């Protein structure tokens, strides 16, 4: 534990399922923040929530892209 940095991630280490999970998690996080903000600032938070849902639903596209790009 001599370094505070974590291990580096090589793009070849990312599996298609990992890419889909990362995209879905990011979208879910955006949606949750958007729902919270919609209570405070109204429509802008709602727009962020909708964007998060769209990103989460794009995770199959991330899976197909990584699978096609890296031949897995």
pLDDT tens for 37-69 read: 888 888 888 888 899 999 888 888 878 887 888
Helix (H) or strand (E) holding 55: helix 43-57
pLDDT tens for 7-41 read: 777 766 767 777 788 888 989 999 999 999 888 88
Q: Are 56 and 32 a contacting pair, CB within 8 Å?
A: no
Residue 29 is predicted with a pLDDT of 92
Domain residue ranges of the chain, discontinuous segments joined by +: 15-69
pTM for this entry: 0.67
Q: What is the C-alpha to C-alpha distance for residues 38 and 48, in angstroms, rounded to an integer? A: 8
Q: What is the C-alpha to C-alpha distance for residues 12 and 71, in angstroms, rounded to an integer? A: 11
Task: Reduce the DSSP state of residue 28 to 3 states and report it.
Answer: helix
């Amino acid at each position: 534990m001599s370094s505070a940095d974590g291990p580096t991630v090589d793009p070849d280490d990312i599996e298609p399922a990992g890419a889909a999970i990362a995209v879905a998690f990011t979208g879910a996080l955006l949606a949750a923040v958007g729902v919270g903000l919609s209570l405070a600032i109204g429509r802008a938070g709602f727009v962020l929530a909708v964007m998060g849902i769209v990103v989460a639903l794009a995770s199959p596209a991330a899976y197909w892209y990584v699978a096609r790009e890296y031949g897995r």
